[in-house]
Amino acid sequence: MPQQVSGFSKLSKTEKINWLITNYFGGNIHAKVTLESYWNSDSELQQLHDEFIENTITNFYMPFGIAPNFLINEKLYTLPMTIEESSVVAAASNAAKFWLSRGGFKTKILATTKIGHVHFIYKGDRNGLRSYFEKIKAQLLQAIKPLTQNMEKRGGGLLDLNLIDCTPKMAHYFQLEATFETKDAMGANFINSCLEQIATTFETLSQNSPELHGNKPKVVMSILSNYVPNCVVRAEVSCSLDELTLEGHFKGQEFAEKFIQAVRIAEVEPYRAVTHNKGIMNGVDAVVIATGNDFRAVEAGVHAYAAKDGQYTSLSHASLENGVFRFWMDLPLALGTVGGLTGLHPMVKLALELLGTPSATKLMEIVAVAGLAQNFAALRSLTTTGIQKGHMKMHLMNILNQIGATDTEKETLILHFKTNGVSHRAVAEALNKLRD
């Protein structure tokens, strides 16, 4: 039975592992060996990783792959992708190669602002509150000047501050809504620090205000929002129908029509839209993780954006007009290329260098293209050969490793499955037959 522990964070890494082995692995020394085998032999590098989070006991590796041949706004990129799912990097690379000879990807930044709120309760007269807010607004802005001056030098800062009446949603609920530009920083710490200072000043000024007649606002919390509908990038591709013809499958017209129907299904059917958008995020998250950004925040914001009109729907869209096929997507992305892990994690620094040390807006464009490429590759497979054929071919090596195939056996079976369907059962049977 596991024992309660106190002062765990003060134990050494080895002591933490020993406690874990004793309480959860029945003293199994193999578990300890596995954990310690993932330590980096460079002690300084390992210490850096140990200090990223609390209670680190080892490292968790994920594959770091690259997808070449991405032509974005007439410039060639090789994208870093960190992901564990089979076929994602291959699919992105195939889509990049397909569009390389068809003009590549085009992108455009539509907006770059982010939002944060001071959430508070006020039980007095709302008109009086609004008049009072307008009276003290300049003081609230002045209170955060020490926090915003460096950001302002880089062209960012607090752009606007407004009082929002949310009482139709919840009794006595109001917000101070702040709009920020954070330039190359994702800006979470900056935004939250500003919001907390605004909240403190707001409560302090309100304590003895005669305009509020004793009804003091009570701040509940101050926090940025990961919903960023005003921090959006567009990525798109287009070509003539003749260029869209797929040898061995469809003529351009037929492929375009079937592709557009597949997108339309994702636009009107939430069950399909979720999986459709998940495929987009395969590409998005892989580059976001590789560049040290917060993929959980990106995921939350993207899926909220997909439901912004009241129903969850496709993020991407397709059309056929005057013989030209067009496929595009608007994606909300709050990313940073300074701060956080971007200057600390050696692999993150390498990934950003691979991309040419991009600005935050340039990284938004690259990430959106990765998502669109992934979506195109998935839809092309779905509407032609089916998704499983390519995916299971890529998954073959994982199956072979799971069932303990030797290097020689792998070579033979990889050749065998070039012309045979892949499934876990089929691979296991083929291996047994080979060994017999």
DSSP, residue by residue, 13-43: HHHHHHHHHHHHSTT-HHHHHHHHHTS-SSH
Instruction: Kindly list the strands in the beta sheet with 106-112, ordered across the sheet, starting from the edge strand earlier in the chain.
Output: 106-112, 231-240, 324-332, 316-321
Portion of the chain with pLDDT greater than 90, in percent: 82
**Burial class for 157, CB neighbours closer than 10 Å (0-12, 13-18, 19+):** buried
Which segments of the chain belong to CATH 3.30.70.420? 114-224
**Model confidence at 3: pLDDT above 90:** no
Q: List Cβ<8 Å contacts ≥24 apart for 407-412.
A: 409/434, 409/435
pLDDT at position 79: 98
Which helix (H) or strand (E) element contains residue 379? Answer: helix 360-382
CATH entry 3.40.1080.10 includes domain 114-224: no
**Burial class for 309, CB neighbours closer than 10 Å (0-12, 13-18, 19+):** exposed
DSSP, residue by residue, 268-307: H-HHHHHHHHHHHHHHHHHHHHHTT--HHHHHHHHHHHHT
**Model confidence at 323: pLDDT above 60:** yes
Q: Average pLDDT in the 176-188 region?
A: 96
Band of residue 249 on the pLDDT scale cut at 50, 70, 90:
confident
Q: Average pLDDT in the 234-248 region?
A: 91
Annotation marks residue 278 as catalytic:
yes
Report pLDDT digits (tens) over 342-396.
Answer: 889 999 999 999 999 999 999 999 999 999 999 999 999 999 876 555 555 566 7
Which tokens belong to 70? 């991405």
Band of residue 226 on the pLDDT scale cut at 50, 70, 90:
very high
Q: Average pLDDT in the 272-295 region?
A: 98
CATH fold for the domain made of 65-110+232-385 = 3.90.770
Distance of CA 214 to the CA centre of its chain: 45
- Window from 20-29, 162-171, 207-216, 422-431 with minimum mean pLDDT: 422-431
Which segments of the chain belong to CATH 3.90.770.10? 65-110+232-385
**Burial class for 92, CB neighbours closer than 10 Å (0-12, 13-18, 19+):** buried
Band of residue 67 on the pLDDT scale cut at 50, 70, 90:
very high
- Please tell me what DSSP assigns to residue 176: E
Band of residue 417 on the pLDDT scale cut at 50, 70, 90:
confident
What's the chain's average pLDDT? 93
Amino acid at 421: G
Which helix (H) or strand (E) element contains residue 385? Answer: none
pLDDT at position 385: 74
How many Å apart are CA 362 and CA 336, to the nearest integer? 10
pLDDT at position 393: 58
pLDDT at position 357: 97
**Model confidence at 73: pLDDT above 70:** yes
Annotation marks residue 391 as catalytic:
yes
**What residues are paired with 39 via a beta bridge?**
none
* Better pLDDT: 237 or 343: 237
Is residue 249 a contact partner of residue 255, using CB atoms and an 8 Å limit?
yes
- Annotated catalytic residue, options 184, 236, 294, 365: 294
Q: Average pLDDT in the 123-138 region?
A: 95
- Annotated catalytic residue, options 13, 32, 49, 85: 85
Q: Average pLDDT in the 176-185 region?
A: 97
- Please tell me what DSSP assigns to residue 156: -
- Listed in order, strand segments (DSSP E) in 365-411 are none
pLDDT at position 386: 64
Query: CA separation (Å) from 364 to 288, 334, 336, 339?
Result: 9, 8, 9, 16
